[in-house]
Amino acid sequence: MRLADAPSLYAASADPVPVYPTLTEPVTADVAIIGGGFTGLSAALHLAERGVDAVVVEANSVGWGASGRNGGQLHSGQRRDQGWLESRFGRDDALRLWRLGEEAKALTLGLIARHRIDCDWRLGLIEAVHKPRLVAEERAYVDTLRDDYGYGAVEWLDREAVAAAIGTDCYHGGRLDNGAGHLDPLKFARGLARAAAGAGARIFEGSRATRVAKSGRWTVTTGKGSVAADIVLLAGNGYLDGIDDDTEAHVMPIDNYILATAPIGAGRPGGLIPSGAAVSDTRFVVYYFRPTADGRLLFGGGESYAPTERTDVAEFVTRHLLNVYPRLKGTKVDYAWGGRLAITMQRLPYIRRLRPGVYTAAGYSGQGVALAPFAGKLIADAIGGDTTRFDVFAGLPCPPFPGGRWLRYPALVAGMSWYALRDRL
């Protein structure tokens, strides 16, 4: 029986997919993977293609978490811009991280092409500037990417050009990235699952991991079964829920919210965003939006930091939507949903070998469409003996949140509330 998907436009419009069984007995594998999202499915695929016996246990259905509910935007580089990376790590490491970010983007697009994943991929992404005082800095960044990093796919849009491109005059300029774009993330996740299963990985849905322990081999215990393996990958991101204190001390789950309007001709000539590009902006608490394949506007905005999700999602996100598109007041909202992503203190991913035989990858901080599948591949490479790229990310500083797993929320709420206020000033 097919498990219920998390409610969203993506789930409502998805084609039927294979049903993966529930784990009901002890099994053995070379690698046990907790989490059936981009990271876990990519790792399973790349391991299986090398003949490694990989088992994925997913608490719900594949793509149920952030992988299948996010805004679908594929960005260039890292979550932090190159100026920030240079100031912290120096020019050489910043360049290395830029190149790895581009590899990550290329991997996602390569997986789509190689496995013929129909996920509504569309080219183009605009980074819109929400404050006049940021224009000079953002315009200079276009030159930096072109001249210092050899990335010629970007161009600057002045205020008039960005207004024409987006369909609102609330922004003061923008960076058009013709090497980035957007997709339907649930279709992509399900395509990864099909590819991984086709390569020989075993996927179990409705199989929540409750414990990881070592007794000879590592054992991942689920509700009705278990997996004994030499290696474990923790790929649950913001949904580990007590599986590993170390990861949860360094990675903070937060809830983000999205709506989709009724079809309004978005992404088509004469409609909003006629080029079909995705848009994100320079707010710290980012607004991100894009047209869908059927002409809706998908808009993400607003976060909450409590352990439970909001229930007034449509009303909550609409308030943010109207800050950008006041003329959409009264437009019907067909879908509204929330989901849990995960951030780190530095907004760089937490990719580590925690202890012999246990890897973790989480905290993509909004950059997961590129970085999560890449992290899965890097860990598969590391398991196979090539740690070159894995070591770059594993060497990035990632301090724990103050208070660790249990006391991190009050500090986060205070900090994020300050940044949200700064966005409005």
- pLDDT range class, residue 421, cuts 50, 70, 90: very low
Q: Which helix (H) or strand (E) holds 353?
A: strand 350-355
Does the pLDDT at position 411 exceed 70? no
- pLDDT range class, residue 269, cuts 50, 70, 90: very high
CB 253 within 8 Å of CB 238 = yes
The sign one gets for the Cα dihedral 262, 263, 267, 272 is negative
Cα(195)–Cα(201) distance, integer angstroms: 9
Report the pLDDT value the prediction gives residue 402, as an integer from 0 to 100.
80
In the DSSP assignment, the letter for residue 14 is: P
Q: Is 405 helix (H, G, I), strand (E, B) or coil?
A: helix
Q: Which residue has the higher pLDDT, 4 or 149?
A: 149
Percent of the chain topping pLDDT 90: 84
CB 85 within 8 Å of CB 97 = yes
Beta-strand pair 278-281/252-261: unpaired
pLDDT tens digits, one per residue of 226-245? 999 999 999 999 898 889 99
- Here the tokens at position 205 are 């849905």
Tokens 């203190």 sit at which residue? 345
- pLDDT range class, residue 4, cuts 50, 70, 90: confident
Report the pLDDT value the prediction gives residue 416, as an integer from 0 to 100.
53
Does the pLDDT at position 58 exceed 80? yes
- Here the tokens at position 62 are 């594949």
Percent of the chain topping pLDDT 70: 93
Q: Which of 169, 174, 181 is nearest to 324 (CA)?
A: 169
CB 390 within 8 Å of CB 351 = yes
Q: Which of 131, 132, 129, 137 is nearest to 176 (CA)?
A: 129
Domains in the chain, start-ordered, CATH in brackets?
9-69+186-251+346-403 (3.50.50.60), 122-182+253-341 (3.30.9.10)
Q: Is 333 helix (H, G, I), strand (E, B) or coil?
A: strand
Q: Is 215 helix (H, G, I), strand (E, B) or coil?
A: strand
